[in-house]
Amino acid sequence: MRRMFGFLIGVFVGGVVGSMIALLLAPESGENLRNQLRDRGQNFLSDVRHSADSRRIELRHRLDALRAPREEF
């Protein structure tokens, strides 16, 4: 759990640093850049939500499998 939390913090910090660098070095106009950043941010959040949902489903299946009564041979 600690590794996942550290990874998520790293992703967040990397996203913030990358967006700041993009703003400083952007060759586009401000409005175009804001629109692109907004779209990328929404896509990123969508990807994170999708990954979290997939992981939650996978973990729920594992938990159900562990809770199921074992068959004795």
The Cα 46–Cα 40 span in angstroms is 10
Residue 72 lies in a domain: no
13 lies in which domain range? 2-67
Residue 53 lies in a domain: yes
pLDDT at 72: 73
Residue listed under structure tokens 């009564």: 69
The Cα 55–Cα 67 span in angstroms is 18
pLDDT at 73: 66
pLDDT at 46: 93
The Cα 10–Cα 40 span in angstroms is 18
Query: What is the model's pTM?
Result: 0.51
When divided into structural domains, the chain yields a total of: 1
Residue 73 lies in a domain: no
The dihedral of CA 29, 31, 32, 37: what is its sign?
positive
Q: Give the phi and the psi of residue 29 in degrees, each rounded to 5.
A: -70, 160
pLDDT at 32: 84
pLDDT at 6: 85
What is the number of other CB atoms lying within 10 angstroms of the CB of residue 36? Answer: 13
Residue 55 lies in a domain: yes
Low-confidence ranges of the chain (pLDDT < 70): 28, 73
